[in-house]
Amino acid sequence: MSVVPTSGVLKRKVQVNVKCDKQAAFDLISGSDKLADWLKKSGPIPGVKDVDILEGPYDHVGARRKTNFIGGDSVIEKLVEYNPPGNYTYEVTEFTNFFGKLTNKAYGQFWFDEEGEDVRVTWEYSFTSKNFFARILMSVVLSMGYRKFMLKGLMNAKGLLESKK
């Protein structure tokens, strides 16, 4: 059973098929050392600058990292489910950016599914909201650019993975 709430959350999901090995996709996307190479700026959403491991390595339930964005904002990510190379889930807290005014917690989930010789990578974000008005504003913000940020990130990861072949 997933730790991610199913009601009262705003969700955004993207998928991309990658021509690579399932383990390679899992390792690149779940790892901390290459996050800044694929999670880049998209519209008003800054890209990742670097990652600080707080409790690690970042490869087991309970591991924590601080993801620092270009411009100085950051979030704390904690692994809450970790099933390599199939899927993982992380809880996001301590937003220092605009999202911190709207939510206290979000969840990111990745699934890696084989489809013939490809791997379908699915990334879903679930955002809680602090109140009704925050939920409305967050819905607008997510619709205007967050899904695009996620898709651009996965496309960048795809490029890195397929260039290794």
At residue 25, the 3 state secondary structure works out as helix
What CATH number belongs to 10-163?
3.30.530.20
Q: What is the pLDDT of residue 164?
A: 76
Tens of pLDDT, residue by residue, the chain (165 residues): 578 888 789 999 999 999 999 999 999 999 999 999 999 999 889 999 999 999 989 999 999 999 999 999 999 999 999 999 999 999 999 999 999 999 999 999 999 999 999 999 999 999 999 999 999 999 988 888 899 999 999 999 999 999 976
The span from the CA of 109 to the CA of 48, in Å, is 18
- Across the chain, the runs of DSSP E, i.e. the strands, are 10-18, 48-55, 64-69, 74-83, 87-93, 106-115, 118-127
